A and B are shown apart, each in its own frame.
Chain A
């Protein structure tokens, strides 16, 4: 009975937790409810993923209105994977917030943090699970509004401006998306994604469809911070509370990538995206510029949080690069990197948060001699940094491998060369940290000896361990990604 309702519960539980938290208000209870809701979603997402892997896609009619009239929640191999990533990241970050956010947010406002966190989780999960294009917009706005609030909670006053800028650009992005969906609705008369895809080939006039494609692409690209629409991201990640940076970098952009993939391959279809319009070429070009320019900018940052924020823009470039290849290997790389980068960047931001809390900031001056002051934190950042580079034995390597293989099999040697060459820039910015932490003598800004609190360190190291684990045992990540790629390209898994 309950099992049949899982697709709804996975979203509804964190959604309902938010008002409950507001009613309860007491920080301890608020924390407990939020964490429990996230953990429940994670558990439910795992169950759903297992069921989808065994029995194929699940269709859930919300309120028993059958699709395409009612809203359908549809779980398949791809979004089950995304659900696991989002709810998993939420479950790891929620306990971290207990100490980290308490230090950055006023105590009487703590419950608001937990409530908005739940809303953000519910919104992102809803974006991933829904099979209805307009419902997706609503969830997108729930997640976005919650994330604007979360970012604005940062201690630095620049967090406010970052949140404002993100609000403006995010709203424009969501509105573009909804314009695209509106045009699609006008020509197909349906909002159900699967139904839309089925009706689209019969549409006689291509022009509104192409316009819709353009609007959806620009709108979602704003959300996923595709170059040159990434300007909101570095400030937002740099000034948000660390828990928020970690959660958003692990999930928000990733879910948007999911939406883009879903629309490209699940609605518009390969012929339209690849043959009628040069989308792959456009994506490749933008991705390459993103990877190169953002990596180079990251190299010159003086603050570790900003450095990792720019690195996020570059890493998203690798994901869209995989999409731009529009091949089985490329899509596998994109989906697997979506997961691996989420785990890696989540770990990094959680660890940097620990440093920022102890040192009052994450500027390079406070990183000098960090290996002696906070050995576990420094080691964790180094290991996750290796995953960012793509060293074998880390999750990042698996993504790089598929990108290289995808490029070589398509005969694009220059692309393979580019992927490996830009990894070297990542070596540069990761090694700036390593040299500062391990070789420099501690300076006046270095925190006193002592690790961050265990409730912060444990979730962070859990993700670091995941970075390493998914570098060795890829049966979950790569299998899921290959299934997703096969699903998107419409072949048998």
Chain B
């Protein structure tokens, strides 16, 4: 390399610090539980079980139920998910081609720890699990 000796030494020092930090950051990821999740996913055999591992069993099973029991072409509204929550976008993604319609949905998909009141037009179809409930619009 075309470098003066002092610049060469500075760059070597910086590169050494950089490599050390790089290794530290790679190892540090284990603090956030990322590797634990990854190894669980690697051990999980099927894609469905991987999804269940990631979404959480309660949510995943509930979404599977909804996707199978809400007729194609129907619309739904998600209730009980915090705004901008990852679970909310997971649900919309999973349920497609079912479409969300907040104005006048055919179904209300409720997923909440707290009991949710729905307007009188909707009747509870099923309490799927502790958090998940499906409401259908009265005909």
Are A and B associated in one complex?
A: no
